[in-house]
Structure 1
Amino acid sequence: MINPIELIGYIAAILTTASFLPQVYKTWKTKSAEGLSLSMLFIFGSGVLCWLIYGFMIDSWPIISANVITIISIFLLLFFKYKYTDSQ
């Protein structure tokens, strides 16, 4: 049986990670990254990296999995920002 604390962690991980995915999809679909702030992406990415390190330090799979997916999303948005800005 899953620990109730871990269950809350997984629910939080799913919700917070899923909230970021529509931005990735919208940027990809519209091929426009005009509204994305590079400074926000770098600051947010730094925070997510810290959460990932913290997750490994305390061996928390909800934190690790959510932040790995979020880091991938941030890299995709940075790629789109670079790709779609150059092509315009």
Structure 2
Amino acid sequence: MTIVGLLAGILTTVCWVPQVVRSWRTRSTRDFSWLYLIVLTMGVTLWIVYGIARGDLAVILANVTTLVLLLFLIGIKLDETRRRQRARSTSPVG
């Protein structure tokens, strides 16, 4: 059964890669709300805790990988938010 869990984890985690690559290339994460990213990150973190408690390597590996991808997206979103705020503060008013 571990192989089924690993395969499921690989498939559900790999689906994030194109979005991360697109966000990196465009430097845009406008399609992701902060609420979505925060709630999903909390859920993935809890899956990691669950996987550790159960000793389930498939759950742990899949969710740690997903967490890394989510943290990368959050980093891009933070950078994008800072750039937008700087642009607003330096643009002429009126």
TM-score w.r.t. structure 2 length? 0.85
Q: Distance in 1 between matches of 2:38 and 2:57?
A: 24
The percent of aligned pairs where both chains have the same amino acid is 32
Counterpart selection for 2:52 from 50, 56, 61 = 56
Deviation at 1:20, TM superposition (A): 1.4
- Residues 2-38 of structure 1: CA distance to partner in whole angstroms, max 9, x if unpaired? xxx1111011000011111211111001111111111
Q: Distance in 2 between matches of 1:21 and 1:54?
A: 24
Counterpart selection for 2:29 from 27, 33, 36 = 33
Q: How does 1:60-75 map to 2 (within 5 A)?
A: 60-75=56-71
For structure 2, the 5+ residue unaligned runs are 85-94
Q: Which has the larger radius of gyration?
A: 2
Q: Structure 1: which 4+ aligned runs deviate by more than 4 Å?
A: none
Counterpart selection for 2:9 from 13, 25, 32 = 13
Counterpart selection for 1:43 from 23, 32, 39 = 39
Deviation at 1:85, TM superposition (A): 2.2
What is the CA RMSD across the aligned residues, in angstroms?
A: 0.9
